[in-house]
Amino acid sequence: MKKMLRLKSMLLLAAFTLFTISCDKNDDGIFDKSGNSIVEIAQETEALSSLVGALVQADAGLVEALSDPNVTYTVFAPTNEAFGTLLGALEGFDSLEDFDTAEEKALLATILKYHVVAGIGAKSTDLKDGQMITTLQSEDVTVGIDGNMVTIKDKQEEAVDASKVLIADVEASNGIVHVIDKVLLPQEVIDAINAGSMDMMNLVEIVVATEALSILEAAVIKADLAGVLSSDGPFTVFAPTDDAFVALLDILGDDYNGLEDFDSEDEIALLKDILLYHVVAGAEVKAADLSAGSVETAFTGNSVEVIEANGTFVIGDASDTDANITATDIMASNGVAHTIDKVLLPQSAIDFVTSLSLKTIVEIAVETDDLSLLVGALQQADAGLVETLSGDGPFTVFAPTNEAFVALLEALGDDYKSLSDFDTEEEKALLVKILTYHVVAGTAAFSTDLTNDQMIATVQGENVGINIKDGTVHVEDATDANASVVIPNVEASNGVVHVINKVLLPQEVLDILNPPTPNIVGLAQSVPDLSLLVDALIQADAGLVEVLSGDGPFTVFAPTNAAFADLLDALGDNYKSLADFDTQAEKELLAKVLTYHVVAGAAVQSSSLTNHQEIGTVNGDTLFALVHGSIGIRDRSTVDASVVLADQIASNGIVHVVDKVLLPQEVLDALGLPSRH
Label residue 520 by pLDDT band (50, 70, 90): very high
Question: Rounded to an integer, what distance in angstroms lies between the CA atom of residue 278 and that of residue 297?
Answer: 7
- Cβ neighbours of residue 56 under 8 Å, at least 6 residues apart? 63
- Cβ neighbours of residue 309 under 8 Å, at least 6 residues apart? 322
Domain boundaries of the chain, sorted by first residue: 4-194, 201-355, 360-513, 520-671
Q: Which DSSP string do the residues of 34-84 spell out, in sequence order?
A: TTS-HHHHHHT-GGGHHHHHHHHHHTSSHHHHTT-TTS-EEEEEE-HHHHH
Q: Taking 60 as the threshold, does the pLDDT of residue 42 lie above it?
A: yes
Question: Rounded to an integer, what distance in angstroms lies between the CA atom of residue 459 and that of residue 378?
Answer: 14
Instruction: Tell me, yes or no, if the two domains 201-355 and 520-671 fold the same way.
Output: yes
The reported pLDDT for the residue numbered 171 is 95
- Cβ neighbours of residue 633 under 8 Å, at least 6 residues apart? 557, 623, 624, 625, 626, 640, 641, 642, 643, 656, 658, 662
| Mean pLDDT, residues 649-662 taken together | 97
Q: What angle do CA 399, 403, 408 make, to 5 degrees?
A: 85
Alpha carbons within 13 angstroms on the beta-carbon side of residue 35 total: 0
Length of the chain: 677
The reported pLDDT for the residue numbered 73 is 97
| Mean pLDDT, residues 88-104 taken together | 87
Q: Give the fold, CATH level 3, of 520-671.
A: FAS1 domain (2.30.180)
| Mean pLDDT, residues 182-195 taken together | 82
Query: Could you tell me how many helices (H) and strands (E) the chain has, helices first?
Result: 24, 30
> 462-490 pLDDT, tens per residue?
999 999 999 999 999 999 999 999 999 99
Architecture of domain 4-194: Roll (2.30)
Helices (H), ranges, 240-389: 242-252, 265-276, 347-357, 361-367, 372-381, 385-388
Q: Taking 50 as the threshold, does the pLDDT of residue 16 lie above it?
A: no
Alpha carbons within 13 angstroms on the beta-carbon side of residue 70 total: 1
- Cβ neighbours of residue 623 under 8 Å, at least 6 residues apart? 557, 596, 614, 615, 617, 633, 634, 635, 662
Q: Which residue has the higher pLDDT, 11 or 66?
A: 66
Alpha carbons within 13 angstroms on the beta-carbon side of residue 551 total: 1
3-state secondary structure of 476: strand
- Cβ neighbours of residue 172 under 8 Å, at least 6 residues apart? 33, 34, 36, 37, 38, 40, 41
> 546-583 pLDDT, tens per residue?
999 999 999 999 999 999 999 999 999 989 999 999 99
Enclosing H/E stretch for 7: strand 4-7
- Cβ neighbours of residue 654 under 8 Å, at least 6 residues apart? 553, 554, 555, 556, 603, 604, 605, 647, 648
Q: Taking 50 as the threshold, does the pLDDT of residue 297 lie above it?
A: yes
**How large a percentage of the chain has pLDDT more than 90?**
78
The reported pLDDT for the residue numbered 299 is 96
Average pLDDT across the chain, whole number: 90
The reported pLDDT for the residue numbered 27 is 40
pTM: 0.45
Please give the DSSP secondary-structure letter assigned to residue 224: T
Enclosing H/E stretch for 567: helix 561-571
Q: Which DSSP string do the residues of 509-554 spell out, in sequence order?
A: HHHHHSPPPP-HHHHHHH-GGGHHHHHHHHHHTSSHHHHHTSS--E
Signed CA dihedral, 656, 661, 665, 670: sign only: positive
Question: Rounded to an integer, what distance in angstroms lies between the CA atom of residue 383 and that of residue 73?
Answer: 62
Position 68: which residue type?
A: D
Q: Taking 70 as the threshold, does the pLDDT of residue 191 lie above it?
A: yes
Q: Give the fold, CATH level 3, of 360-513.
A: FAS1 domain (2.30.180)
Q: Which CATH number fits domain 201-355: 2.30.180.10, 3.40.50.720, 3.40.250.10, 2.40.10.10?
A: 2.30.180.10
Query: How buried is 305 (Cβ within 10 angstroms: 0-12 exposed, 13-18 middle, 19+ buried)?
Result: middle
The reported pLDDT for the residue numbered 97 is 94
Q: Which of 482, 461, 460, 462 is nearest to 473 (CA)?
A: 482
The reported pLDDT for the residue numbered 200 is 59
Contact assessment for residue 143 and residue 135, using Cβ atoms and an 8 Å cutoff? no
Label residue 91 by pLDDT band (50, 70, 90): confident
> 229-257 pLDDT, tens per residue?
999 889 999 999 999 999 999 988 888 88
> 343-362 pLDDT, tens per residue?
999 999 988 887 777 889 99
Question: Rounded to an integer, what distance in angstroms lies between the CA atom of residue 483 and that of residue 400?
Answer: 9
Question: Rounded to an integer, what distance in angstroms lies between the CA atom of residue 66 and that of residue 50?
Answer: 16
Question: Rounded to an integer, what distance in angstroms lies between the CA atom of residue 592 and that of residue 581?
Answer: 12
Q: Taking 50 as the threshold, does the pLDDT of residue 642 lie above it?
A: yes
